[in-house]
Structure 1
Amino acid sequence: MDTISIIGLLVGVGAIVGGQVLEGGHVGSLLQPTAFVIVLGGTLGAVLLQSPVHIFVTGVKMGRWVFFPPVVSPRQLIEDVIRWGNVARKEGLLSLEGQIATLQDPFTAKGLQLLVDGAEPERLREVLEVEIDAYEKEMKTAAKVWESAGGYSPTIGILGAVMGLIHVMENLSDPSKLGAGIAVAFVATIYGVGVANLIFLPISKKLMVNIARLVSYREMYVDGLVGIANGDNPRLIESRLQGYLS
């Protein structure tokens, strides 16, 4: 679990609610179901309109990475690549075929299969880098679902504020209804700006960090496989892969 994400969310929300209390306001005044429906419903509709279904679904599923980031172990990968390199130097590339079945990730399994099949080093790199580029592009497009939500929600919040003011203007003759309209107007703006800058945009940025980490992990793997295909000394491969960790 990514503890710092939880702390950041609690600190951000706590600062706003705490500021409201310190100013003598009531927390309950920030709770407006109408404003909530307008901002989140409108933002959801806008994001759905712009996104293909599979991209939207992927982006939503990726949201859990903020608190439970994908687990990768670069050091374990280096150990595996060095072990494979030693085996390949002693017994040949075909001796690695038994390792393929132990790999859970389709990308790593595909890379090792290409190595075992005797693919030329540059061809091996070319094939796997094309897959990495496609993977990175798809993941970034999905992550931008959250960035788009962060762009739409402040505008939807302003729209909610205008709607609240319209309600106020329609009921100028009835002072008892003015308070509710004004509350919706201001709280809708708070919701729109707040969820954009405390939730949607930070989630998008955190997802981009995780994507970069996954892409770097795959690039390191490809570099290691190419080293084995070139017949490089395992110690030289290890030294090169260690550079990714810094």
Structure 2
Amino acid sequence: MNIYPIIFLIVSFGSMIGAFILEGGSPAMLAAETAAIIVFGGTIGSVGLGSSPKKLKNIPAMLKLIFTAKEKDLVEIVNYFKQLSFKTRKNGLLSIEGELTDELDPFIKKGLQLVVDGVDPQMVRSILEFELESTYDRHKENGAIFESAGGFAPTMGVIGTVMGLVQVLSNLADPAVLGEKIAVAFIATLYGVGSANLIFLPMASRLKDLNNEETKEKGLIIEAILLIQEGANPNILTEKLKGFLDKKQAKKFNEIDNEEKS
């Protein structure tokens, strides 16, 4: 499990609640069942109405991805294709068949299988890029569910507050409790704005980042497979693929490369 999303979730909620307590408030004051029902129930209903059942079924998988996704190791991938390049230059493209195991990344396996089958390089690129684009669009659509929730939640909070104020204004017989009732009414707005900015929108942003990382990884894989297919020199292949790495990753790769040469 990736612990960082959990840490930052605790930090965001902890900061908000901690500041509230420092101002003299009590955590119990933040608990309002009716506000929670209006905001979260209304948000779920609105999102469900605006999304297809197929997308809604993907929500558990998306939540799991947010909290379990590991950082893409592009350095390892570049090194893998460098070693594969040495192998194919020595033994030919058919030697790739030995690499096509169940443990291999499915996208890499598919690309290498196309190479072994003798598919034209342009067709290999077309097939892999089409799958990449389809995956990107699908993940983008799934992430839009949380963006939608982030848009609906504040509005639901305002609706909850208005409903609470209607109740307050309909009964002004006891002025002594008006302040408390008005405060409770505004908890709905707090729930709506808080859930949007502390939960839904950050989750949408996290999914967007993961999608971009996967796109970059698959883009690297496509270029590597095509270079393998054309029989590129391992050093040339390495230099081209290093263009996908940032400075820190490139430094790490150079250190590994130097260790292997020594």
Alignment of 1:11-90 (within 5 A): 11-70=11-70, 72-90=72-90
> Which runs of no fewer than 5 residues in structure 2 stay unpaired?
247-262
Q: Please say if residues 165 and 185 of structure 2, whose CA atoms lie closer than 8 Å, have aligned partners that are also in contact.
A: yes
SS at match of 1:13: helix
In the alignment, the residues of structure 1 paired with residue 60 and residue 201 of structure 2 have an alpha-carbon distance, to the nearest angstrom, of 14
Task: Name the SS of the counterpart of 2:118 in structure 1.
Answer: coil
Q: Deviations over 1:46-87 (max 9, x none)?
A: 111111122222244212333322453222212221222222
Distance in structure 2 (CA, Å) of the matches to 1:149 and 1:15: 23
Q: How does 1:143-154 map to 2 (within 5 A)?
A: 143-154=143-154
Q: Matched residues in 1 for 2:234 and 2:84: separation?
A: 9
Indicate conservation of the 8 Å contact 1:157/1:189, yes or no. Answer: yes
SS at match of 2:172: coil
Amino acid at match of 1:63: L
Instruction: Describe the SS at the equivalent of 1:67.
Output: helix
| Cα separation, 1, equivalents of 2:78 and 2:146 | 33
Find the aligned partners of 1:47 and 1:60 in 2 and give their Cα distance: 15
Q: Which amino acid aligns with 1:5?
A: P
Between the aligned partners of 2:55 and 2:70, the Cα distance in structure 1 is 18
Task: Measure how far apart 1:196 and its partner are.
Answer: 0.4
2:33 is aligned with what amino acid?
P
Written as runs of structure 1 = structure 2, the 5 A alignment for 1:175-214 is: 178=178, 181-214=181-214
TM-score, normalized by length of structure 2?
0.87
Whole-Å Cα distance in 1 between the matches of residues 239 and 80 of structure 2?
Answer: 14
CA drift at 1:15: 1.8
Cα offsets for 1:103-133 (capped at 9, x unmatched): 4433222111101111222221111001000
Contact 2:2 2:70 in 1 (8 A): no
Aligned match of 2:168 = 168
Q: How many angstroms apart in 1 are the aligned matches of 2:32 and 2:104?
A: 47
Q: Distance in 2 between matches of 1:70 and 1:59?
A: 19
Find the aligned partners of 2:60 and 2:179 in 1 and give their Cα distance. 36
Q: Residue 220 of structure 1 aligns to which amino acid in structure 2?
A: L
| Mapped partners of 2:7, 2:118: distance in 1 | 49
Calculate the aligned-residue CA RMSD, in Å: 1.9
Unaligned runs of 5+ in 1: none
Q: What are the residue-to-residue correspondences of 1:110-129 with 2, within 5 Å?
A: 110-129=110-129
Deviations 1:125-155 (A, max 9, x none): 1110010000000001101111111010000
Whole-angstrom distance in 1 between the partners of 2:88 and 2:198 = 51
**Aligned counterparts of 1:141 and 1:104: Cα–Cα separation in 2:** 27
How many percent of aligned residue pairs carry the same amino acid? 39
Displacement of 1:173 after TM fit?
3.1
Equivalenced residue count is 246
Contact 1:17–1:27, Cα closer than 8 Å, also in 2: yes
Alpha-carbon deviation of 1:163? Answer: 0.9
Shift of 1:175: 5.6
Deviation of 1:92 after TM superposition, in Å, equals 1.6
